Amino acid sequence: MRLAVIGGGVVGVSTAYYLAEAGHEVALFERYGNVAQEASFGNLDLMGPSGLRLWATPGAPSRIFSMLFRPESPLAFSARFEPAMWRWLKRSMSESALSRFKQNQQRLYRLASYSQELMQHLVQTCELDFQQRNSMMIMFRTARELEMAHPYMELLGEFGSRNELLDPEAARLLEPALSTETPFHSALHVPDDWAGNCPLFVRQLKTLSQDLGVEFHFNSEIQAIRPELGGTTLQLEGRNVDVDAVVIAAGSDSVRLLKTMGISLPIYPVKVYSASMAIQEFELAPQTSLFDDTYRVGLTRLGKRIRIAGCAELGSSNLDLHHKAVNTLVKVADDWFPNAANYRAASFWCAPTAMLPEGVPLIGPTRFSNVFVNTGHGSAAWALAAGSGKLMADIITGLRTEIDTDGLTLTRYGDRMR
């Protein structure tokens, strides 16, 4: 089959790679000039299944909204009176009920674990080096935060995740560079979770995909998609491209493309943030990746640089930096590793990412037999990309998938969403 993939982020390139590996003729269309230019450029660097934390957790609504008026907060608002934003937020917060949280976390963990297995295979067989490293800690600043995390930790136990709850003394033995000036209650050590440089990996996977015959078409924005009997037409500026089927893996732009076919999904473009800076004092820089549970910010050492990523801004339609998000990233880095780098001089970045209320992506066919989606990964795209791409390839090829797809396809919304 001749297939098109729309989107050159980590999910789109992973999809193209596995489709080509399955023997298909693949063309990838990306509106920017290279791969990993939008959300994948500065996404959260944590990529292990145990460290993936849903936004909608039990107790999260009251906890997050209580921080809204502080100088630093995991969530920032730019628009107060945008009905679509409030509808989406209300629906997202409804997913924090314990039963819904458990279901969503199980689905996320299933896909992330599968993705990690595939990544390990890629690293071993293709000798990839994208500055990956093992070991991460989730930092709980207070006893109350640890208590709120109990449902999540109980699930990790059910999943068989290898982890250990550390007191501050044990956490500082594991990570000696941790500041002694920042008090905290405990840290959950997850030794097997990975972190790595997402855009570097995407560029390497692009090369592997080209070796398999994938064509990359940059600066090629799809205007509309026209499903037809026996194929699909992609409308670009000044030309049309006919393919047998198309996979929409365009992140936040997926909403626009799906609407051209009358398909509406509850995706909202949430702006996410990151910052990168050169290490100045290497003995004071982290060796273990961290996730600050209070501010929902991850901090990772990538070679000679430190990357901090997290925060979410709702209601913004531009790429202006929100002062609260910048302050939050700087605070987290200053709190844990204050002398490792000059965080105020960092290169700050933001971009929209496609978020679904459940925090779980959609992978599979639409009501059109030749149109598929692989979208809604949000800030977890890096951790889910390989598994999502392989699932998509198996579904299109007609193979039995290696993991259960329950809750990962559009059927979870019923026929009205397909």
Q: Where are the domains of the chain?
A: 2-40+200-266+359-417, 47-81+132-193+268-355
pLDDT for 418 equals 47
Q: What is the pLDDT of residue 396?
A: 98
Q: What is the pLDDT of residue 324?
A: 94
Amino acid sitting at position 128: L
Mean pLDDT along residues 201-215: 98
Least confident range from 80-94, 95-109, 123-137, 338-352: namely: 80-94
Please state the φ and ψ torsions of residue 405, each to the nearest 5 degrees: -95, 10
Does CATH place domain 47-81+132-193+268-355 in 3.30.9.10? yes
pLDDT at 417 over 60: no
Total residue count of the chain as it appears in this document: 418
- Give Cβ neighbours of residue 323 (< 8 Å, ≥ 6 apart): none
CATH number 3.50.50.60 is the correct assignment for the domain at 2-40+200-266+359-417: yes
pTM, two decimals, is: 0.96
Q: Quick one: tokens of 109?
A: 């963990």
CB atoms inside a 10 Å sphere around CB 45: 27
Q: What is the DSSP string of 71-94?
A: SS-SEEES-SS-HHHHHHHHHHHH
pLDDT of residue 414: 78
3-state percent breakdown (helix, strand, coil) of the chain, nearest 5? 35, 25, 35
Neighbours of 230 (CB within 10 A): 9
- Mean residue pLDDT across the chain: 94
User: Nearest to residue 185, comparing CAs of 145, 242, 223?
Assistant: 145
